[in-house]
Copies of this chain bind each other. A is one copy, B any other.
């Protein structure tokens, strides 16, 4: 790239906060387009994403091209000062592709074809699919690469397909061959000596299709990695095409939050802009916390500002019961995203569909139209974002706490035949992050092999599998004076899902003062275990410590008097999942000991405070007004008024304070 820097989100924001959403005008007659533009401008919309589901419109039959309608729209947007995030349409192939090329259709693990008629019915491994996808991407990039409306490329949409079919099987074998080189290495890694699974030739290897009884865990783990890599190949192939045409235009593909199928650490490295879709349930009492987790994780993957590609202005349509957002919640959660690093607040979709599978998914303009509460609140939010943008766009967030997360550990630990199917990785991760949130401690996420020196405290909720390098990294962090807190089921296996001798890595056991890990005692549903000072949930452990002094022991039952929480210097091991309040207290105490303090002291429970750059966001997630102590004098960017020592926030209220 001849010395030029890689494009970034700032190339699209240009000092603004992007505001807008997916726009699917092909659903509407042209007269509606003009109404849309009028409403967009009224609402301060400055960015729309075009083309996500337009393949059959752009290529109505194989090889055809119909760009006229898109030309009109690109021009219309540009004339009205609205930037375009242009999507490659490759997430939903036209019906003709499946009809002419059934080899492009994915196959489930039990051999059932996934047909067209929905979306995302493509095999990541299909050469035919990839060829068509490249061709339409090429032509789109050639035609619109120079269009002044273009601000960003959006590749595909929510990559999420699996495939267990024959072409995927062949690709899996190629992938394995490249990884392992020899069958012997593969047989070793997968432990095929057990259950007579030794492979004598590469052609005998399949995706982990329906077995008679449990699958080989190594095969399943590698198939996870392979799937993430195949999807990534689909992405990079298209990215490289558009980058060739527009080296200065940033490229993204939107993640689904904490989705199991993509190793987003690896993916993020291939993206100019990290974007994500966030849809907490408005009824979920932990909705704000769950949103914060995704925001923190996305920011950490982006290593800076990120893009909220999709959220819902009102209800979604894919839950059992789809609740609308109460008045104010859309604004509050949008500001929360900005507080935690978003420089773009976008929606699926601009105008709610009248037809199709998502017609009951809300839009920025709902079925109720411009008079509806939804659009009215969107409009208010647009104004708010414009007010705060100059002080926040591009600004960074500093965290002293890192939470470690790794897809490989998740994949290895989430298999059938594990000690407890009640232990779900995302739940454990959420429980620990939520405790930090409730302690008002801002945190980043990090990969276990990342540089941890910027942090005072590193929290490992659960990393079942760790590479030697990751263990080295943790030990170095601890030896360097860092405070390390580990939850149970950490360091059990290596990167091949091979259990480490002793059932947990010996160096970690040494670090925490564990002499022998005799047994895991997973808990049944509804069961808790008494510990000194709190109750544990989900899990407990029969540990023989190297040292008789512990922070807290189990009380009663089979584990009476055995250590529940072990501490050795600044290294902590928590062998159960403390109830939320106890975990919050534990982490607050550990962080405090490490000199890490919340942004504001004395914050009420439902109030979130985040410092972005110099700007302090104070968010009331409660339905009752609340007064928050904020020492000193600030200007509230939302209202323009001065705030001294305290600010009162109404239900779902927010203040954005500049010193």
Interface residues of A (CB under 8 A from B): 24, 26-27, 53-57, 60-61, 89, 92-96, 98-99, 106, 110-121, 161, 190-201, 203-206, 208-219, 283, 314-315, 317-318, 320-324, 326-327, 353-361, 366-369, 371-374, 416-422, 496-499, 501-503, 516-525, 542, 558
A367/B95 contact (C-beta < 8 A), A216-B357, A360-B417 known: no
**In the complex, what residues of B have CB within 8 A of residue A355's CB?**
190-191, 193-194, 217-218, 496-499
Cα(A196)–Cα(B59), bound, Å: 10
**In the complex, what residues of B have CB within 8 A of residue A318's CB?**
214, 417
Cα(A421)–Cα(B315), bound, Å: 14
A368/B92 contact (C-beta < 8 A), A55-B196, A106-B212 known: no
Instruction: Pick the contact of A204: B99, B114, B418 (CB < 8 A).
Output: B99
Residue pair A96, B201 in contact (C-beta under 8 Å)? yes
**In the complex, what residues of B have CB within 8 A of residue A95's CB?**
197-200, 204-205
**In the complex, what residues of B have CB within 8 A of residue A524's CB?**
283, 321
Residue pair B321, A211 in contact (C-beta under 8 Å)? no
Which B-chain residue is minimally distant from A200 (CB atoms)? B61
**In the complex, what residues of B have CB within 8 A of residue A99's CB?**
201, 203-204
**In the complex, what residues of B have CB within 8 A of residue A57's CB?**
193, 196, 198
**In the complex, what residues of B have CB within 8 A of residue A327's CB?**
558
Residue pair A191, B522 in contact (C-beta under 8 Å)? no
Cα(A419)–Cα(B421), bound, Å: 31
Tell me the minimal C-beta distance from A515 to chain B in angstroms: 8
Cα(A204)–Cα(B56), bound, Å: 12
Tell me the minimal C-beta distance from A484 to chain B in angstroms: 23
Residue pair A502, B197 in contact (C-beta under 8 Å)? no
A321/B421 contact (C-beta < 8 A), A113-B210, A200-B61, A558-B326 known: yes
Count of identical protomers in the assembly: 3
Residue pair B117, A523 in contact (C-beta under 8 Å)? no
Which B-chain residue is minimally distant from A218 (CB atoms)? B355
Residue pair A322, B522 in contact (C-beta under 8 Å)? yes
Instruction: Pick the contact of A417: B121, B358, B497, B520 (CB < 8 A).
Output: B358
Known contacts A193-B356, A324-B521, A369-B501; can you find 6 more A-B pairs with CB under 8 A?
Answer: A55-B196, A116-B206, A193-B355, A197-B356, A323-B521, A360-B419
21 contacts between A and B (CB under 8 A): A26-B194, A27-B193, A60-B200, A94-B198, A95-B198, A118-B211, A118-B212, A118-B213, A119-B211, A119-B214, A161-B212, A193-B356, A194-B357, A214-B357, A216-B357, A320-B421, A322-B419, A354-B501, A355-B499, A367-B499, A371-B516
Residue pair B354, A54 in contact (C-beta under 8 Å)? no
Cα(A219)–Cα(B324), bound, Å: 27
Residue pair A422, B196 in contact (C-beta under 8 Å)? no
**In the complex, what residues of B have CB within 8 A of residue A417's CB?**
317-318, 357-361
Cα(A203)–Cα(B102), bound, Å: 13
Residue pair B116, A357 in contact (C-beta under 8 Å)? no
Cα(A60)–Cα(B200), bound, Å: 6
Cα(A199)–Cα(B117), bound, Å: 10
Residue pair A522, B323 in contact (C-beta under 8 Å)? yes
Residue pair B519, A314 in contact (C-beta under 8 Å)? yes
A114/B210 contact (C-beta < 8 A), A191-B27, A355-B496 known: yes
A324/B502 contact (C-beta < 8 A), A203-B99, A355-B217, A419-B315 known: no
Cα(A283)–Cα(B418), bound, Å: 17
